[in-house]
């Protein structure tokens, strides 16, 4: 075998059908699209269209409720934190906050902070700085000799340009 002799097996690459090239080709005139109508024209994709009947996805009722004021907390259980401390992924002497938990791959997401839950056992004396904690988690941490500090995230600050304009307006008055 030589590099210049390498080629595909017979029939491995099939050439595309050239449509609209005369009656003798078998795909001439309408190019396999039939006659007239929306689907015979280019740029048409009718997904979920049921011939004018109300489509199924519109007939079915809406379900559930999306709370616009709901908080997005990342949750972590005490048992998982204890495992991470035992595996030396978390430093027990430092305060454990969202950044530390993220670095240890215990949480992800949670744009409103971390919430500590009481599932599992904890034996290490740990200090937490989290957005929230359950009663059982608070009791378990305090029983182990640690403490939980509830940190409230500050609301988003308005954009600098708007703040500067507001300050200028106040100075002018």
Give per-residue pLDDT as tens, 14-70: 999 999 999 999 999 999 999 898 888 888 878 888 888 999 999 999 999 999 999
pLDDT at 109: 87
**Dist. CA 96–CA 137, nearest whole Å:** 14
Distances in Å between the Cα of 161 and the Cα atoms of 81, 166, 167, 173 are: 42, 9, 10, 19
pTM of the model: 0.55
What domains are there in the chain, each with its CATH number?
74-150 (3.100.10.10)
**Dist. CA 50–CA 56, nearest whole Å:** 8
Higher pLDDT among residues 158 and 77, named by residue:
77
């Amino acid at each position: 075998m030589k590099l210049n002799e390498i080629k595909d097996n017979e029939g491995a690459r099939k050439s595309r059908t050239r449509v609209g090239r005369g009656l003798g080709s078998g795909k001439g005139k309408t190019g396999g699209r039939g006659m007239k109508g929306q689907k015979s024209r280019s740029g048409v994709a009718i997904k979920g269209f049921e011939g004018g009947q109300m489509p199924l996805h519109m007939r079915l009722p809406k379900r559930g409720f999306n709370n616009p004021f709901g908080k997005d907390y990342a949750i972590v259980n005490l048992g998982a934190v204890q495992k991470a401390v035992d595996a030396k992924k978390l430093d027990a002497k430092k305060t454990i906050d969202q950044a530390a938990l993220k670095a240890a791959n215990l949480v992800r997401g949670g744009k409103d902070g971390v919430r500590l839950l009481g599932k599992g056992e904890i034996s290490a004396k740990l200090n937490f700085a989290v957005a929230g904690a359950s009663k059982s988690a608070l009791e378990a941490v305090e029983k182990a000799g640690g403490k939980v500090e509830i940190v409230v995230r500050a609301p988003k600050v308005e954009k600098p340009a708007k703040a500067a304009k507001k300050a200028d307006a106040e100075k002018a008055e």
